[in-house]
Chains A and B, each alone.
Chain A
Amino acid sequence: MTEGRPPLVFLERRSYRQRRVRDAARLLPVLGLFAWGVPLLWPRGEAAPGTASALVYVFAVWLGLVVAGALLSFLLSRGDVDDAREGGGDAP
């Protein structure tokens, strides 16, 4: 929070940030779909990648999505402090 800035602007910035976090939460599964759709492009037969590397790729995507999801969830829960005045949201 910057000194001297009116609180209204601060709140607006905050709710703006919240809405962008929600956009990110909406985008996450699309990203996951893309990343997990990559194996569709892999060749089969002779040129097929090894199972070990495929396994590493799939689980790396998984881990990345989980971490991103956890981060977004944390950011979203901070936003609920603002919602609290509407109906008493869960305190984070």
Chain B
Amino acid sequence: MTTLNALVAVCLSYVFFLFVVAFVAERRAAAGRIRWLRSPIVYTLSLSIYCTAWTFYGAVGSAVRNGLEYVAIYVGPSLVMLGWFWVVRKLVRIGRSQRVTSIADLVSARYGKSNTLAVFVTILAVAGVTPYIALQLQSVTLSFEVFGADLAGGRFDRPHTATALWVAVGLALFTVIFGTRNLDANERHHGVVMAIAVEAVVKLVALLSVGVFVVWGLSGGVTETLARIDASELGTWNVAGGRWAGITFLSAAAFLCLPRIFQVLVVEAADESHLRTASWAFPAYLMLMSLFVVPIAVVGLDLLPAGSNPDLFVLTVPLSQGQEGLAVLSFLGGFSSATSMVIVAAIALSTMVSNHIVMPIWLRLTGGGASVSGDVRHIVLTARRLSIAGVVMLGYLYYAFSGGGAALATIGLVAFAGMAQVLPAMLGGIFWRGATRTGALAGLSVGFALWLYTLFLPSLGPGVLPVAMLDEGPLGLAFLRPQALFGIDGLDPLLHAIFWSMSLNAGAFFVGSVLSFPTPLERLQGAQFVNVFQHSPGPRSWAGRVAQTEDLMVMAQRILGATEAMALFRREARAQGARGDLPEPTPQFLERLERELAGSVGAATAHAMIGQIVGGMSVSVEDLMAVADESAQLMEYSARLEAQSTELSRTARQLRDANLKLTRLSVQKDAFLSQISHELRTPMTSIRAFSEILRDSGRLDAGERMRFASIIHDEAVRLTRLLDDLLDLSVLENGKVSLDIRAARLSEVIDRAVAAADAGAEDGALTIRRDRSDEDVTIVTDLDRLAQVFINLVSNARKYCEASAPALTIRVLTESDRVLVDFIDNGEGIGPEARDTIFEKFSRVAEQKAGGAGLGLAICRQIMARLGGDISYLPGQGGAAFRVEIAEASAMAAQ
């Protein structure tokens, strides 16, 4: 005999079994062996959380009360899944490409990441789901009581809230343990999904077993059962057309909008191709779940005493026949339905609550200063755990305070109608680019308000809304009666509420969208959602983990450089204890890689790149904006670098030039020194030679002695002159010369120079032609130095002019700003090849008459430079011609 204690033991061992299943699944997922966990069968089975305890037990009750109406609740989702090519496929694709974590996240992401909308949907979900959780707790408690009552031989008047509390605590614990193990970027929970799949099998097997027992064990076959149905009080089709259509629509809408369904259908979807299997397998599952409902109802009505609760026929029929084992199995089926629903609903709701309500508030309170990622992860996990506990406890409190009973029984469809209010905003968002945030907010508010007013509050019983208000409307305004809006009376309350809330919701959504203007982010997101099939990559299965790591490697090499990337990967592989050079792409490794890459390309870019490879998801608009920001910064930085490098190369060029000049100068200096030594050496050699002759040979006659002595004297004079010239040049070059500026007539200076040049000459053969009227110019300059230049030029002409009758023309030209003095002889002139060098030191045009050291013209140029004038060779004058230019200031000042 089954005792209550044994039942508790069965329950506990079943829960323990679920723990083991979830744990093993998590372990396998962590080890990367997820092929089986991600099979389409598991996906299909996980969708079965649509069938809660309310449908497991309540379908039979519904069949007793309303005939085949219960089928409509399964028909809606079947149609949605059979029509997966229309909506579900798009939802799953969007969910993956946008990394959607919940239905609130989807709506908010579509309308420009509006957190207001997310909060709105979250509140709607909490309001709709909490009573539903209460309903699950009630059904588990009731089924416990049935066993207890059966064994005690009596009936419980009221369900014990203690049972519900224990169930709630246990469920919260399970959900916290397996629902928040990690913060997967994709929000996938392998353990939970696996446990749900197992529970789906348990509840199907349980219901089918009872059905088979009823049809073949109690009724004697299919034909007999059908006859029995027709003979029963459910014998004729009595479903109102409105209810049939309305509930079909409602269940279809709810299937798309309920947070828990969205969780398994979209968020946990591992592969788009699984939808293909689920599209027919899930309707098949629903068909099997509803197949034996009517037979059980009919047999239950036959066998059990009048007044028995038809909601519990699934349990009480086997019990009444002494089928303890079957009853326990059936109990486990109901228990599975309830627990799986609560677990997934709690996960889905807690994700929404923590992401859209707790975290924004927390970040605002802390000033958004949580820059360390690990820090935030911890907070998110804590928030999520607390949210799970909060949601389950809220359900328990609702159950405890509503006291169970009939008020709860109708809450299933009420919750459906509440969540269905999200449908216009959701479908409009994925199919219509013109949908805006304002429209979505308007639609949701109108729908939510109408749902509260016409359905939710009246459903809570007379205690909440005063009876007078239900009957006569608020403040006596009859056309605002909650269950007969605008004077349309006599409708079924549910249909009435669906009709008004959905139509006005959709209307407000449309009008609001048409009249408002979306933000840029909203428009971009809209385009991404509506045209998701053009924007996102095709369905791709996870192509093995090593292949991914290789992709990462290729990318990392491009960014970090080959050696560095190799070293990083090898280090990671070693740290993971893996053989070879490729590490597993664990979250830790990906995080580290992202940080490394972020150092090179910026955080947002790194995140987007890794996301692209690992998740196969497309990049969101916000990512793109962040990337654009970063690249703008990088470009600015590189522009600055470029400017700096231009400046550097300019400086380098200048340095190179300076170096060249220095090298040239050094070469010149060397040449100068060797020239000097040569120049000094020549006279010294002859002085030494002749002085030795004078000393050593005593028999020299007076004439010879005289000649030798005069050679020695000449050479000494030449040396002295050379040294004088060098000294002069050095003084001039160093700029240490002090000028003795005086005013004088140019003719006087030329007179002095010609006289001085003549004085040193052996012959007076040189004819000098002058035009004294031109020379009547006053100049202000260092007269001695200028005279030195003139002397040099005149004596050069005397020395080097080859003409038979050498003549020198001195021509003076007075211009407005300067005085030009030309010295032109009638010799051969200087060849073009020598003209460049005649002003250099030690340059001589002709070697034969080496009278000087070759410093004369160099000194002249230095002097003229000091005086602010110039001296240059004047070609094309029929002989050697030099032009001395006396600067303007000197000439003008004398006028």
B82–A58 CB distance below 8 A: no
Cβ-based interface call for A73 (8 A): yes
A92, chain B: closest CB distance, angstroms: 9
Q: A48-B238, A50-B236, A59-B291 known; A88 and B540 CB under 8 Å? A: yes
Q: Please indicate the chain A residues that have their CB under 8 angstroms from the CB of B413 in the complex.
A: none
Chain B residue at minimum C-beta to C-beta distance from A71: B280
Checking A29, A37, A58 against B83 with a beta-carbon cut-off of 8 angstroms, the contacting residue is A29
Cβ-based interface call for B706 (8 A): no
Q: Please indicate the chain A residues that have their CB under 8 angstroms from the CB of B235 in the complex.
A: 50-51
Cβ-based interface call for B401 (8 A): no
Q: Please indicate the chain A residues that have their CB under 8 angstroms from the CB of B71 in the complex.
A: 58
A79, chain B: closest CB distance, angstroms: 10
B283–A66 CB distance below 8 A: yes
B237–A77 CB distance below 8 A: no
| Whole-angstrom CA separation of A86 from B533 in the bound complex | 13
A39–B226 CB distance below 8 A: no
B83–A28 CB distance below 8 A: yes
Q: A25-B85, A36-B79, A87-B540 known; A55 and B229 CB under 8 Å? A: yes
Q: Please indicate the chain B residues that have their CB under 8 angstroms from the CB of A56 in the complex.
A: 226
Chain B residue at minimum C-beta to C-beta distance from A22: B85
Cβ-based interface call for A10 (8 A): no
A89–B538 CB distance below 8 A: yes
B541, chain A: closest CB distance, angstroms: 5
| Whole-angstrom CA separation of A42 from B276 in the bound complex | 34
Chain A residue at minimum C-beta to C-beta distance from B543: A88
Q: What are 7 of the A-B contact pairs (CB < 8 Å)?
A: A62-B287, A63-B287, A66-B280, A69-B283, A72-B280, A73-B276, A86-B538
| Chain A residues within 8 Å of B, Cβ to Cβ | 22, 25-26, 28-30, 32-33, 36-37, 39-40, 42, 44, 48-52, 54-56, 58-59, 62-63, 65-70, 72-73, 76-77, 80, 83, 86-90
A36–B248 CB distance below 8 A: yes
Q: Please indicate the chain A residues that have their CB under 8 angstroms from the CB of B229 in the complex.
A: 50-52, 55
Cβ-based interface call for B667 (8 A): no
Q: Please indicate the chain A residues that have their CB under 8 angstroms from the CB of B85 in the complex.
A: 22, 25-26
Q: Please indicate the chain A residues that have their CB under 8 angstroms from the CB of B82 in the complex.
A: 28-29, 32, 65, 69
| Whole-angstrom CA separation of A70 from B287 in the bound complex | 14
A90, chain B: closest CB distance, angstroms: 4
B43, chain A: closest CB distance, angstroms: 13
Chain A residue at minimum C-beta to C-beta distance from B294: A55
| Whole-angstrom CA separation of A40 from B235 in the bound complex | 18
Chain A residue at minimum C-beta to C-beta distance from B295: A55
| Whole-angstrom CA separation of A18 from B310 in the bound complex | 49
Chain B residue at minimum C-beta to C-beta distance from A63: B287
Q: Please indicate the chain B residues that have their CB under 8 angstroms from the CB of A30 in the complex.
A: 83
A83–B539 CB distance below 8 A: yes
A62, chain B: closest CB distance, angstroms: 5
Checking B78, B86, B239, B240 against A62 with a beta-carbon cut-off of 8 angstroms, the contacting residue is B78
- With A25-B84, A83-B539, A88-B541 known, 4 other A-B pairs at CB within 8 A are A42-B237, A51-B230, A68-B280, A90-B541
Q: A29-B83, A65-B82, A90-B541 known; A49 and B279 CB under 8 Å? A: no
A44–B238 CB distance below 8 A: yes
Among A28, A56, A63, A69, chain B packs the most CB atoms within 10 A around the CB of A69
A90–B273 CB distance below 8 A: yes
Cβ-based interface call for B277 (8 A): yes
B276–A76 CB distance below 8 A: yes
A69–B79 CB distance below 8 A: no
Chain B residue at minimum C-beta to C-beta distance from A66: B284
A65–B67 CB distance below 8 A: no
Q: A52-B229, A90-B541 known; A59 and B287 CB under 8 Å? A: yes
Q: Would you give the 0/1 interface string for B217-238, flagging 1 where the beta carbon is closer than 8 Å to chain A?
A: 0000000001101101011111
Cβ-based interface call for B241 (8 A): yes
A20, chain B: closest CB distance, angstroms: 13
| Whole-angstrom CA separation of A33 from B260 in the bound complex | 25
Cβ-based interface call for B75 (8 A): yes
Q: Please indicate the chain B residues that have their CB under 8 angstroms from the CB of A40 in the complex.
A: 241, 244-245
Q: Please indicate the chain B residues that have their CB under 8 angstroms from the CB of A22 in the complex.
A: 85
| Whole-angstrom CA separation of A78 from B545 in the bound complex | 25
Chain A residue at minimum C-beta to C-beta distance from B278: A73
Q: Would you give the 0/1 interface string for B237-264, flagging 1 where the beta carbon is closer than 8 Å to chain A?
A: 1111100110010000000000000000
| Whole-angstrom CA separation of A56 from B67 in the bound complex | 14
Q: Please indicate the chain A residues that have their CB under 8 angstroms from the CB of B236 in the complex.
A: 48-51
Q: Please indicate the chain A residues that have their CB under 8 angstroms from the CB of B277 in the complex.
A: 73
| Whole-angstrom CA separation of A55 from B83 in the bound complex | 23
B237–A62 CB distance below 8 A: no
A26, chain B: closest CB distance, angstroms: 5
A87–B539 CB distance below 8 A: yes
Q: Please indicate the chain A residues that have their CB under 8 angstroms from the CB of B281 in the complex.
A: 70
Checking B226, B239, B240, B280 against A52 with a beta-carbon cut-off of 8 angstroms, the contacting residue is B226
A49–B237 CB distance below 8 A: yes
A51–B68 CB distance below 8 A: yes
| Whole-angstrom CA separation of A6 from B68 in the bound complex | 56
Cβ-based interface call for B311 (8 A): no
Cβ-based interface call for B271 (8 A): yes
Cβ-based interface call for B537 (8 A): yes
Checking B67, B79, B537, B539 against A32 with a beta-carbon cut-off of 8 angstroms, the contacting residue is B79
Q: Would you give the 0/1 interface string for B385-421, flagging 1 where the beta carbon is closer than 8 Å to chain A?
A: 0000000000000000000000000000000000000
Checking A37, A55, A73, A83 against B280 with a beta-carbon cut-off of 8 angstroms, the contacting residue is A73
A91, chain B: closest CB distance, angstroms: 9
Q: A37-B245, A69-B283 known; A48 and B79 CB under 8 Å? A: no
| Whole-angstrom CA separation of A32 from B280 in the bound complex | 12
Q: Please indicate the chain B residues that have their CB under 8 angstroms from the CB of A37 in the complex.
A: 245
| Whole-angstrom CA separation of A51 from B63 in the bound complex | 11
Chain A residue at minimum C-beta to C-beta distance from B539: A89
Q: A49-B236, A62-B287, A88-B541 known; A29 and B86 CB under 8 Å? A: yes
Q: Please indicate the chain A residues that have their CB under 8 angstroms from the CB of B83 in the complex.
A: 26, 28-30, 32
User: For window 604-644 of chain B, which residues contact chain A by CB distance below 8 Å?
Assistant: none
| Whole-angstrom CA separation of A37 from B72 in the bound complex | 10
Checking A25, A32, A54, A88 against B78 with a beta-carbon cut-off of 8 angstroms, the contacting residue is A32
A89–B245 CB distance below 8 A: no
B237–A39 CB distance below 8 A: yes
Q: A51-B230, A55-B229 known; A65 and B283 CB under 8 Å? A: yes
A54–B68 CB distance below 8 A: yes
Q: Please indicate the chain A residues that have their CB under 8 angstroms from the CB of B78 in the complex.
A: 32, 62, 65
Q: Please indicate the chain A residues that have their CB under 8 angstroms from the CB of B245 in the complex.
A: 37, 40
B538–A83 CB distance below 8 A: yes
User: For window 746-784 of chain B, which residues contact chain A by CB distance below 8 Å?
Assistant: none
| Whole-angstrom CA separation of A55 from B230 in the bound complex | 10
Q: Please indicate the chain A residues that have their CB under 8 angstroms from the CB of B294 in the complex.
A: 51, 55
B239–A39 CB distance below 8 A: yes
Q: Please indicate the chain A residues that have their CB under 8 angstroms from the CB of B538 in the complex.
A: 83, 86-87, 89
Which 7 pairs show the lowest CB-CB distances between chains A and B?
A29-B83, A69-B280, A52-B226, A70-B280, A48-B236, A40-B241, A87-B538
| Whole-angstrom CA separation of A55 from B235 in the bound complex | 11
Q: A48-B236, A50-B237 known; A33 and B79 CB under 8 Å? A: yes
| Whole-angstrom CA separation of A83 from B273 in the bound complex | 12
Q: Would you give the 0/1 interface string for B68-80, flagging 1 where the beta carbon is closer than 8 Å to chain A?
A: 1001000100111
Chain B residue at minimum C-beta to C-beta distance from A41: B241
Q: Would you give the 0/1 interface string for B264-301, flagging 1 where the beta carbon is closer than 8 Å to chain A?
A: 00000001010011011101100100010010000000
Q: Please indicate the chain A residues that have their CB under 8 angstroms from the CB of B84 in the complex.
A: 25
A50–B230 CB distance below 8 A: yes
Q: Please indicate the chain B residues that have their CB under 8 angstroms from the CB of A42 in the complex.
A: 237
